[in-house]
Amino acid sequence: VTRVLVTGGSGFFGAAAIAALHGFGEVHAVARTPPESSAPGVTWHAIDLLDPEAARSLIKELRPTHLLHFAWNARPGQFWAAKDNLDWVAATLMLYRAFADAGGTRFVGAGTCAEYDWSRPEHVEDQTPLAPATLYGRAKSSTFQLLGAASAQDGVAFAWGRIYFVYGPGEQRGRLVSDIACELLSGGSPKCSEGLQQRDFMHIADYGRAFAALLQSEVQGAVNIASGECRSVRSVVEAIATQIGRPDAPQFGARPSPPHDPPRMSANVGRLRDEVGFRPVFSLEAGVADTIAWWRRKS
Amino acid sequence: VTRVLVTGGSGFFGAAAIAALHGFGEVHAVARTPPESSAPGVTWHAIDLLDPEAARSLIKELRPTHLLHFAWNARPGQFWAAKDNLDWVAATLMLYRAFADAGGTRFVGAGTCAEYDWSRPEHVEDQTPLAPATLYGRAKSSTFQLLGAASAQDGVAFAWGRIYFVYGPGEQRGRLVSDIACELLSGGSPKCSEGLQQRDFMHIADYGRAFAALLQSEVQGAVNIASGECRSVRSVVEAIATQIGRPDAPQFGARPSPPHDPPRMSANVGRLRDEVGFRPVFSLEAGVADTIAWWRRKS
C-alpha cells in the first residue's frame, strides 16, 4: 500500500501538491488548522509539527510510506531571518527520524534556491556551491545535508526539491505577483525597482505537479524545481500590467533595488526535465492570466 | 554575574573543563546522572537534554550567561554512524534557542576534526573545506553552521572548538590509548596496524583547560583544539610500551589499516595559541606517564 503524508498541507505548496497527488495511493495531510474545504479523498490531521511528541505519535500510528514535507515558517518578508528557522530544522530532523523508524521508504523535502551561492548566475544541483546568505537558506541547506547523510545510511530514498519563484491563484499578499496584481486591479500605480534582476517564475499548479512527480519518481538528491525560463522581474510586472490593460501604470525605478540583490538566479532544470520527466504546463503569460482572473473573481 | 552551564558534565571532556573552570563565576553542570563526586563548588542538574522541555525549563530558571556544550552521543566505535546524531543536532539547536531567549551572552560548542575534508593533511579553520565523511561529522558541521548564522543575528558570542585526538586518565575502554595501555599492563601483546597514520594527540586535562580558556576569551567562530604536534600512531603506542617496560610487545602490522584512513590529520593551532592564548602543559611523554600511573592505581 502507498500511503502519502503531506506536511504544510494547508499552505500554498501543500495544497497544490495534494491536488496533483490525486490517485497516488492514500493521501493524508497535516496542518495546524486543516482547511474547511480541500481536494477530495484527503484525510486531515490537525497537528503542530513543532511539537515533537505529536508528530512522532502521528507517524507511528499512520506509518506513511511516502512523506512530502513542506511545513516551515513562510511568512513573507519575515522568514529569511526568523529565529524559528532553527525550530523547523529540529522538527524536520525529528519528523524524518520517526518516519524512518516507522518503515517509511521515500522522503521528499522542500529546499530553496537560497541554499546556493548567489554570486553564481546559474545553479546546477551537484556543482554550484551551497553558500547560503541567509539563516533561512542555511537552515534549508543544513537540513538537506543532514537528511542526505542519514537517509543514505538508513536505506530511505531521499529527494529535495529546491524551489525558485512562485506565483498564482491563492498566493498571499506581500509577494511580488500578488501585490502588483492587486494594486493594478484596484487602480494603483505600484512603485517598483528597475526590475532588471532575472528570476525563474513558475505557476503554483506546476509546482504542485512537479513535487507530485518527484515524489512518485525514484530520483534521489537535490532537484531544482523551476520552469527553466529566467526572465527579468520587470518583464513579469509588464505582463501583468498589460493583461490588466494598464501597461503604463507601474513606476519602474521608483524604488531602489534591494542591496546585494543578485542580478540573475537561473535554475538548471536538466534533472527535473530528464530524470523526473516533468515539464510545466503554464507559460508565464497563461499563468498571469489565470492569476488575474482569480483576483478578479475574489474581489 | 557570570553563570556557566556545562552540558555533558559527567563525560570525559565535561569533567576536565569543569575542573579547569574553577573560579570562573558560578559553575553549573548538566548530566543525565550526575557523578557521585566532582570538582568542588559545582551545582549539578539531573536532566536529559534530549527532552526539549526539560532543557528549556532549566535554562529559563537558571539563566546562564555562558554555555559550554559537550553533551552528544560519544560511545566508542558507535557514534560515527549513530542515528541519534540527528537527535543531538535538534537538541543542540533547541538548547541554543532557549539560551539566547534567556539572555545568554556566550555559547561555546564542541566540534570535531571530522568536520573537515580529510583528504587535506592540515586543517585551517577558515580555509579548509568542511566536507564530512561521516554522519557524526556532518551533524557537527551543520550544527556549527546553523549556530554561526543564528548567533550572528541574535548578538550572541559563539565559538566552536574542534576536537582532535584525546587520551588520559579516566578515558573509557574502546579507544586507542586506553586499550593499548590496559593490554600492555595486563601482559598482552596488542595487535596494531602499521600505525603510520599521523594524528594530533592531546591530554584530557589540556583539553579541559583549552575549552575553559576558549569560554573565557572573546574569540568567535571555529577554533582547532589540539596540541599542534602531529605524530604517528605508532610512535604513541611505542611511547606507552616503552614506559611500561615492554617495548617489543606491540604487534605492528598484525591488523590491517582501516580503509580510507587519512594518512595525516594535522591541526593548525594558530588561533588557539595566538588568539585564545592557550598552550598545552603535557608533552606526549609526560601525558602517557600520567595515564599509565592512573591505570596502575586503578587496577
One-letter amino acid at A165 equals F
How confident is the model at residue B39, as a pLDDT?
Answer: 78
Q: Is A139 on the interface with B (CB under 8 A)?
A: yes
Nearest to A93 among B90, B132, B150 (CB): B90
Within 8 A by CB and 6+ apart from A42, the residues are A9, A18, A27, A28, A29
Ramachandran angles phi, psi of A113, nearest 5° = -60, -15
CA B89, B94, B100, B104 torsion-angle sign: negative
Helices of type H across A125-232: 135-154, 176-185, 204-216
A134 pLDDT tier (thresholds 50, 70, 90):
very high
* Strand A3-7 with A26-31, pairing: parallel
Contacts with A94 from chain B: Cβ below 8 Å: 86-87, 90
How confident is the model at residue A239, as a pLDDT?
Answer: 98
Q: Is the pLDDT of residue B176 over 80?
A: yes
Contacts with A100 from chain B: Cβ below 8 Å: 83
Q: Is the pLDDT of residue B211 over 80?
A: yes
Q: Which of B56, B83, B86, B130 to mutate to test the interface with A (most CBs of A within 10 A)?
A: B86
SS (H, E, C) A57-76: HHHHHHCCCEEEECCCCCCC
B218 pLDDT tier (thresholds 50, 70, 90):
very high
C-alpha span between B147 and B96 (Å, rounded): 8
Contacts with B142 from chain A: Cβ below 8 Å: 142, 145-146
C-alpha span between B46 and B88 (Å, rounded): 17
How close does chain A come to B108, measured CA to CA in Å? 17
Helices of type H across chain B: 12-20, 52-62, 85-101, 135-154, 176-185, 204-216, 233-244, 270, 284-298
Contacts with B81 from chain A: Cβ below 8 Å: 153
C-alpha cell at B74: 560519544
DSSP state of B251: B
C-alpha span between B297 and A79 (Å, rounded): 58
How confident is the model at residue B255, as a pLDDT?
Answer: 94
Q: How far is CA B90 from CA A164, B262, B285, in A?
A: 27, 29, 40
pLDDT > 70 in chain A, percent: 100
Q: Which of B115, B145, B146 to mutate to test the interface with A (most CBs of A within 10 A)?
A: B146
Q: Is the pLDDT of residue B299 over 80?
A: no
C-alpha cell at A202: 513558475
Ramachandran angles phi, psi of B115, nearest 5° = -75, -30
Q: Which of A51, A93, A97 to mutate to test the interface with B (most CBs of B within 10 A)?
A: A93
Q: Is the pLDDT of residue B109 over 80?
A: yes
Instruction: Give contacts of B 61-100 with A, CB under 8 A.
Output: 81, 83, 85-87, 89-91, 93-94, 96-97, 100
Q: Which chain A residue shows the shortest CA-CA distance from B152?
A: A135
C-alpha span between B33 and B45 (Å, rounded): 9
Specify the pTM: 0.95
Q: Tell me which residue has cell 502519502.
A: A4
Nearest to A86 among B83, B138, B146 (CB): B146
pLDDT > 70 in chain B, percent: 100
> What angle, rounded to 10 degrees, do the helices at B176-185 and B284-298 form?
60
Q: How many pairs of residues across A and B have Cβ atoms under 8 Å apart?
A: 74
Residues for chain A: how many in total?
A: 299
Taking residues B68-85, what's their average pLDDT? 95
- B16 contacts B208 by C-beta, under 8 angstroms: yes
One-letter amino acid at A148 equals G
Ramachandran angles phi, psi of A28, nearest 5° = -115, 155
Q: How many CB atoms lie within 10 A of CB A238?
A: 16
C-alpha span between A44 and B61 (Å, rounded): 38
Task: Using CA atoms of B211, B217, B220, B222 in order, give the dihedral in degrees to the nearest 10.
Answer: -30
pLDDT digits (tens, 9 = 90+) for B221-271: 999 999 999 999 999 999 999 999 999 999 999 999 888 889 999 999 999
Burial class for B54, CB neighbours closer than 10 Å (0-12, 13-18, 19+): middle
How confident is the model at residue A258, as a pLDDT?
Answer: 83
Contacts with A145 from chain B: Cβ below 8 Å: 138, 142
Q: Which chain A residue shows the shortest CA-CA distance from B134?
A: A149
pLDDT digits (tens, 9 = 90+) for A251-292: 999 999 888 889 999 999 999 999 999 999 999 999 999 999
How confident is the model at residue A204, as a pLDDT?
Answer: 98
- State chain B's maximal CA–CA distance in angstroms: 58
pLDDT digits (tens, 9 = 90+) for B144-173: 999 999 999 999 999 999 999 999 999 999
C-alpha span between A248 and A214 (Å, rounded): 40
Within 8 A by CB and 6+ apart from B78, the residues are none
How confident is the model at residue A85, as a pLDDT?
Answer: 98
A111 pLDDT tier (thresholds 50, 70, 90):
very high
Q: How far is CA A213 from CA A21, A144, A145, A274, B236, in A?
A: 8, 19, 22, 12, 56
C-alpha span between B28 and B45 (Å, rounded): 7
